[in-house]
Amino acid sequence: MTETRDGARRLVLFDIDGTLVLTGGAGLRAMNRACAEIVGRADALNGIPVAGRTDWIILHDAFRAGGMTLDDPMFAAIRERYVTHLRDEIQQRGTGTKAVMPGIRELLDALEARSDVALGLLTGNFADGARIKLEHFDLWRYFRCGAFGDDAVDRNALVPVALSRARECGVADVHASHTLVVGDTPHDIACALAAGATPVGVATGSYSVDQLRASGAETVFADLSDTKGFLSLL
C-alpha cells in the first residue's frame, strides 16, 4: 500500500449537499437568480434533476430544456452570478432543513485526528459554491482538496480528479481502491464504482437505505452519527 508524506493510507471523499449539510435550497435559488439575470429565465431549473449531479450538467440540461445552447461565455457568466447570489442566499433561512447533518462534526473530528486518513471533497458543486456552503457551517477547514462541478460534466470522472488533486497538494497518494466515496445519491455510488473506489451511502438525502444499497453500495448508513461504525470501515 502506498503511503504519503503524512502517512495517510486511506482517502475519504465527501459529497456536500444531503451528506454533510442541507442549505434550505440556497443553491437552487442562487442558480435560478443567476439564470434570470443572464437569460431572463427565473425558473430555469424547475423540473431539472439536481440531486447528485454536477452544476455543469444541471445548467446544460436546463438550457437544453429551454431550447437554448449554453456556450462557454454564458456558462462563465452564470457561474459568476451564481456564486455572488449564493453568498446572499446561504444567509437566508430558506425552505426545509438548513443544518449540518447528524454526526458530521464528530466524524470529521475523528477522521482528522487520524494520521492514516486524509479528507477530501467530491461534489457536483462549483468549487467556489462548495466553499461558500461549507464555510457557512464552519466545515471548509476540514478539507484541503477535492474534485468539483467545475472539473467535469460527468460526475463519474471526478474520482480520478480528486486523487490527482490529493497527490498534488500532499494530502494523500493512494490508489482508488484505498479511497472511500461518501454520498447520499446513486450518482455518488456510481462514480465510486466507476473508478474502483469504495462507495459508502448515507440516507440523509432523498434516497433510502434500500435504494442506495440497490444502486451498488454494500455499506449504507441511515446517517453518520455512528462514528465508531464508520471508523470500522478503515
Instruction: Place 7 in a pLDDT band, splitting at 50, 70 and 90.
Output: low
- Give CA–CA dist 156/199, Å, rounded: 12
- What is the spatial distance between Cα 170 and Cα 151, in angstroms, rounded to a whole number? 20
Quick: pLDDT tens for 56-96: 889 989 998 888 888 999 999 999 999 999 999 999 998 88
Assigned C-alpha cell, 70: 449554453
- Cα 31 to chain centroid distance, Å, stands at 16
Q: Three-class SS string for the chain?
A: CCCCCCCCCEEEEECCECCCEEECCHHHHHHHHHHHHHHCCCCCCCCCCCCCCCHHHHHHHHHHHCCCCCCHHHHHHHHHHHHHHHHHHCCCCCCCCEEECCCHHHHHHHHHCCCCEEEEEECCCCHHHHHHHHHHCCCHHHCCCEECCCCCCCHHHHHHHHHHHHHHCCCCCCCHHHEEEEECCHHHHHHHHHHCCEEEEECCCCCCHHHHHHCCCCEEECCCCCHHHHHCCC
**Overall pTM surpassing 0.95 (yes/no):** no
Residue 56: count other Cβ atoms within 10 Å of its Cβ.
Answer: 21
Could you tell me the three cell numbers for 41?
429565465
Q: 32 pLDDT band (50/70/90 cuts)? A: very high
Cα 9 to its chain centre, rounded Å, is 22
Cell of 102: 447528524
- CB of 162 within 8 A of CB of 197? no
Match 466507476 to its residue by C-alpha cell: 194
* pLDDT value, residue 13: 98
Check residue 70 and give its pLDDT. 85
What pLDDT is recorded for position 8? 72
Integer Cα distance of 53 and 46 in angstroms? 15
Residue 6 has pLDDT above 80, yes or no: no
Confidence of residue 133 (pLDDT cuts 50, 70, 90): very high
